[in-house]
Amino acid sequence: MSTNTITTQKVNFKVFRFNADEDYLPYYEDYNMEVTSEEVVLDILNRIKWDHDGSFSYRRSCRHGICGACAIKVNGRSTLACKESMKDMVDLFGSELIIEPLSKKRAVKDMIIDKGDFWEKHDAIHPYLISDVHENPEHEHIVTPAEAEELNDADLCIQCGACHYACPVVEINEDFFGPAAFAKAYRFEADVRDDAHDERLQELHQEKQGLWDCVKCFECAEACPKDVNPIDKITKLHQMLFQEGVATSNVATRHAVGFKHSIAKNGVLDEGGMVLYSERAAVVKHIPLALKMFRKGKIVPPWGITKSENLDEIQKLVKSSSTAKF
């Protein structure tokens, strides 16, 4: 017999409202409600629509965390409304909760956004298997369990867009493919049956739209409700670019290689040296800022870098994990 007790608590919901056909600016409405510990956020959206305002709009479908339609933000945190327990939300944020769409600037009506850019980026990386399969093949294309394992978690993506709209680069660079597209690209780059390997990598290598604009903030990993971990796939794609000889010398790739050189030399990161390695002659544009940072102790000069006590072990790890040279 279950000993779980259903509890209730009064919560104030500050809800984003906007109708692109009628409103000049968005606004927020407050709804004070008694919520139970067995409810999820989607139940609250339903109650707002059914009990308070029938014009309130949002997407929902499966209620099982499969379709991704109900992805929204609660207090700035991307989530699936059907998956997130109200008890967990109150424990995390308290009794004042802000409900917003994944992207406020793309809002069409309340929680509903225009995901056109998401689908365009998704389509751009050719998210399907490209293979010249004979109409009457003589044998199967065998995929080993180990090869299949490389694909499994990437296949868990439900295309909800949570990681895409949590990405700060997507917000400032309209050409950037975004973490969801990269995760899907990895799924086919890692597929031994795919014949578009080189072409897809070339697309991913482009400076403004491709992998090198990722800032490694891990927001996509935090936002993903299915634990796809897009940043892990982005890292693996970076490795593919180097291993396949696609990566060329530019600021972004030199930044990655400079990071490796710094760690190999000192066992710790020399940030100033890494910028110099990455930017080369163009580093002069950073001198005014560098001087200000130096005066405030934010930059350690090369002669002030303290080498790691475990430098020998670190150097062995670096040597075994990378062959990139620029």
pLDDT, tens digit, 9 for 90 and up, residues 85-130? 999 999 999 999 999 999 999 999 999 999 999 999 999 999 999 9
How many domains does the chain fold into? Answer: 3
Is 20 inside any structural domain?
yes
Residues 238 and 120 in one domain: yes
Residue 143 pLDDT > 60, yes or no?
yes
Shared domain for 233 and 147, answered yes or no, is yes
Residue finishing a domain among 181, 210, 243: 243
- Per the structure, the complete domain to which residue 190 belongs is given by 116-132+142-243
pLDDT of residue 55: 97
pLDDT tens figures, 299-313 = 888 788 888 999 999
Identify whether 2 is part of a domain: no
Does 322 have pLDDT greater than 80? no
Q: Which pLDDT value is given to residue 249? A: 85
**Does the pLDDT of residue 157 top 90, yes or no?**
yes
pLDDT at residue number 326: 57
Lowest model confidence (mean pLDDT) among 53-62, 90-99, 147-156: 147-156
Select from 187, 213, 243 the last residue of a domain: 243
- Residue-wise pLDDT for 202-260, tens only, equals 999 988 888 999 989 999 999 999 999 999 999 999 989 988 889 888 888 888 888 88
Q: What percent of the chain has pLDDT over 90?
A: 64
Condensed to tens digits (0 to 9), the pLDDT of residues 24-35 reads 999 999 999 999
The answer on 91 and 23 residing in a single domain is yes
Q: Do 173 and 192 share a domain, yes or no? A: yes
Model pTM score? 0.84
Joined tokens for residue 291: 């001087």
Instruction: Let me know whether 273 and 186 are in one domain.
Output: no
Question: What does pLDDT average to over the chain?
Answer: 91
Range in 159-163, 173-177, 237-241, 255-259 the model is least confident about: 255-259
Asked if 99 and 126 sit in the same domain, the reply is no
The CATH number of residue 202's host domain is 1.10.1060.10
Whether residue 257 sits in one domain with residue 229: no
Q: Give tens-digit pLDDT for 261-318.
A: 889 899 998 888 888 888 888 889 988 998 898 899 888 887 888 889 999 998 888 8
What lies within 8 Å, CB to CB, of 320 at 6+ separation is none
